Amino acid sequence: MDREQFRKAGYAAIDRICDYFEELPERDVMPSVEPGDIGRQIPKSAPVEGEEWSTIAADFDKVILPGITHWQAPMFMAYFPANTTYESILADIYAGAVSNPGFNWLCSPACTELEVVQMDWVAQLLGLDESFHNASNVGGGIIMGSASESCLTVCIAARERALRLHPGTPFEQMVIVGTTQTHSLGAKAALILGLSFEAIETKEEDAWALRGEALRETLGRLKGEGKLPFALLATVGSTSTGAIDDIAEITAVAASYPELFIHVDAAWAGVMLALPEAREECHLDAINARSTAVNAAGGICASGEVHSFCTNLHKSGLVTFDASCLWVRDRKLLTEALDITPPFLRNKHTDTGLVVDYRNWQISLGRRFRSLKLYFVLRSYGISGFQAHLRNLISRAARLESLVLSSPNEFELFVPRRFSLVVLRLKASSPKNGEVEDKDANELNKKFFALTAERKDIHLTPTTVGGKYCTRIAIGSPFTKDEHIKKVWKVINELAEEAKGSQVE
Ligand code: PLP
């Protein structure tokens, strides 16, 4: 393709994308394909001779779109959202043009410096303490590909920090601690690092959140067993129910455990901190609080405070996948664990130590130029536009919540709505007692969910918490309007009737 062909193809691509968004509300959310249907249409090997662009581009409609689950569709309410915006799409086009792996400042000063400043913009937007900002020159932020990558990276840093305090501790004794509600990123980080993961049981009366007492008991028990619990993964907005761990109680307990690094995974709910009215619910004060405990780990971060915080702008934060924002209280936590500088990566700027070389903050060397997406989105929406988007999601979910509450004989909220997440259960029509009722209700809820899963027009996600099977409805698309909430509610009611009918038979 030459430049003039690219110009033409590019205009056509933008036209096609605009049409896609126009068609989106009318499309089914789910594709009508079986496993292998798409793969079969794709040639087994690359062509020997290059093909015409028009033939290649036609495959977007012919082969790709029929196999797409439409995450941007207004009735996609599964998992958590993965917002996209025109501004982010444009940023990805520009970033693609300069295709820059920006691992050192010198590799691309603009990629690095824009990211440094954008991470401070977002930290300000969320109300994170200045000690997390890049401007502090001590703490700082970096954009990663996923919350799992952020978690793995800080677990490496936490392990190094703990080993400085307890040199020679065998890996078999090193434990990452979370709860039964921690995202699988915790168990995965432990798996990758060859360490173990301890999941503390959370309780219904604590709204499935981790409390200080349970943490104290677990840490005491692990220590008694000769283990070294060195990283705690606290969650603000758990995947199943939006549970928010008690950060103040956690940091208070952690103050007695100098080697315990605290990471807050707020992959989904963290962006809600952009709303002043959500900050208390998200424990922002406790996230920001500084510890007075002695700085035990050789100059790296005191114990009893949050050491790192992560949220994904690529969920409800209007930035196209991927943009996982990670901040640390002390950038040396990362660089002292991850800096390996072979001679070919040295340059005079790196040697001065005055520039940020993001390769030393992360696992890989090369990295995507993601900050342009943040810059375009935040400038175009402004803080007020960003907040309006979040309030819009919350108000749609509140509408759904009120519909659930208006049918107390049919449905119940499993937990109170958390921001834009509604978790519901169908009530069994002939209530019995205790375990029998739970079993019946679970069967009914499984049938109900199975019916929703057969639909192409909506997409929801099931979960099981405390032995109870529930359906999660996560509102996230900027395209979701009140009419879509009404439509989803109608479908839910029809399927609830059907599930109950089939249970009677
Ligand atoms: N943490 C929480 C609370 C999540 O809900 C999710 C995904 O939904 C993740 C982490 C994983 O995010 P990622 O796909 O960015 O690793």
Q: What separation in Å is there between the alpha carbon of 285 and the centre of ligand 1? A: 23
359 in a structural domain: yes
- The confidence score (pLDDT) of residue 407 equals 93
For CA atoms 361, 367, 373, 379, give the dihedral sign. Answer: positive
For CA atoms 356, 95, 120, 312, give the dihedral sign. Answer: negative
Alpha-carbon distance of 206 to 210, in angstroms, equals: 8
> DSSP states of 306-322 as a string?
--EEEEETTSSSSPPS-
CATH (domain of 222): 3.40.640.10
Q: Determine phi and psi for 158, rounding to 5 degrees.
A: -65, -40
Entry pTM: 0.96
Alpha-carbon distance of 464 to 423, in angstroms, equals: 11
- The confidence score (pLDDT) of residue 440 equals 86
Mean pLDDT by 10 residues, the chain (505 residues): 97 98 96 97 97 97 97 97 97 97 93 98 98 96 98 97 95 97 98 97 97 98 98 98 98 95 98 98 97 68 92 98 97 92 84 89 96 98 98 98 95 97 90 64 96 97 97 96 97 96 72
Range of the domain at 297: 101-368
Please report where in the chains the tokens 């639909």 appear, as a residue. Answer: 455
Report the residue count for the chain: 505
Q: What separation in Å is there between the alpha carbon of 151 and the centre of ligand 1? A: 10
**240 Cβ inside 6 Å of ligand 1:** no
318 in a structural domain: yes
Please choose, from the candidates 411, 440, 407, the residue with its C-alpha nearest in 3D space to the C-alpha of residue 425: 411
Query: Per the structure block, which two tokens stand in for 200?
Result: 């503390």
- Ligand 1: residue of 265, 309, 320 to mutate (most ligand atoms within 8 A of CB) is 265
401 in a structural domain: no
Contact indicator for 337, 160 with CB cutoff of 8 Å: yes
**474 Cβ inside 6 Å of ligand 1:** no
**321 Cβ inside 6 Å of ligand 1:** no
**265 Cβ inside 6 Å of ligand 1:** yes
Query: ipTM beyond 0.90?
Result: yes
- The confidence score (pLDDT) of residue 504 equals 59
* Domain count within the chain: 1
- The confidence score (pLDDT) of residue 250 equals 98
Contact indicator for 215, 245 with CB cutoff of 8 Å: no
In this structure, which residue's CA is closest to atom 6 in ligand 1? 267
- The confidence score (pLDDT) of residue 503 equals 73
Please choose, from the candidates 399, 429, 394, 393, the residue with its C-alpha nearest in 3D space to the C-alpha of residue 411: 429
Query: Per the structure block, which two tokens stand in for 34?
Result: 């079986």
Report the atom number in ligand 1 closest to the C-alpha of 324. 15
194 in a structural domain: yes
159 in a structural domain: yes
Contact indicator for 363, 337 with CB cutoff of 8 Å: no
- The confidence score (pLDDT) of residue 293 equals 72
3-state secondary structure of 123: helix
124 in a structural domain: yes
26 in a structural domain: no
191 in a structural domain: yes
